[in-house]
Amino acid sequence: MLARSLCWNCHSELGGEYFCDHCIKIQPAPSQLDYFQRFSLPRHLTINLQDLERRFHELSRKFHPDLFQRGSDQEKAISLENSALLNTAYRTLRDPILRVEYLIRLEEGAVKDIPAKAPADLLEEILELQESLEEYKQVGKTAPEKSADLRKTLLVEQKRIGSRKMVLEKDLFSLFEEWDRLQDQHLFKPDGQQAHRRSLLQRMKDLLSARAYLKTVLQDLDEGLHDHHP
């Protein structure tokens, strides 16, 4: 239970998370709660999605806007805001990529997104691929045979880069259990294994960065191949 400010209605000190213990009026969700805390979950990367969905529906039923149609304007506004916050938290935690990105921001206090960076071993190939894509766009229907050859090459590369992206995701997800174990140890030894935690966060950031770059490359390929289909 978190003590914070006063109830907007009866001005009693708040102890509950979403409702005043005295007048039972709905309260704004505590701003200090992160997405994991909103669902009473540990800061783990491995989450039981069925359990998450159950918790989501339980909370949704507590302050769904339909329950406050006859309430005051303040109650209606709070229920809408709480519902929006809960929906955002749920969408973030149910997606493994959004979940790990969010956790890294929590751990490092970062606000900006993780910048995309090309995998070092693919940089030269990706530059050549981008040149081929631009050439394919320029050739169009003026040289059908060349256009067909370029398209065939681009489709092969698209599949290969897609497979590499999947490998990056597999490598990323394989670190989730390691993070969860360290997180559990951190609860008992807050100052222990900090170097390991920082190293693991950096490894996950590097994988996310490379994945984000390949995702953009794939999107460019998809758009180019779709928009210039013969």
pLDDT tens for the chain, 230 residues: list them.
444 589 999 999 987 778 999 999 999 988 889 999 999 999 999 999 999 999 999 999 998 888 898 999 999 999 999 999 999 999 999 999 999 999 999 999 877 788 999 999 999 999 999 999 999 988 877 888 899 999 999 999 999 999 999 999 999 999 999 999 998 887 656 565 788 889 999 999 999 999 999 999 999 999 999 876 66
Closest by CA position to 89, among listed 29, 175, 172:
29
Q: Is 217 exposed, middle or buried (0-12, 13-18, 19+ CB in 10 A)?
A: buried
Residue 48 backbone zone (phi > 0: left; psi -120 to 50: alpha; other: beta): beta
Closest by CA position to 58, among listed 18, 97, 27, 31:
18
Task: In whole angstroms, give the CA distance from residue 92 to residue 106.
Answer: 13
Helices marked H in the chain — which ranges? 35-38, 49-63, 73-94, 96-108, 123-139, 144-173, 176-188, 194-227
Phi, psi of 111 (to 5 degrees): -105, -40
pTM (whole model) above 0.85:
yes
Residue 87, Cβ neighbours under 10 Å: how many?
A: 12
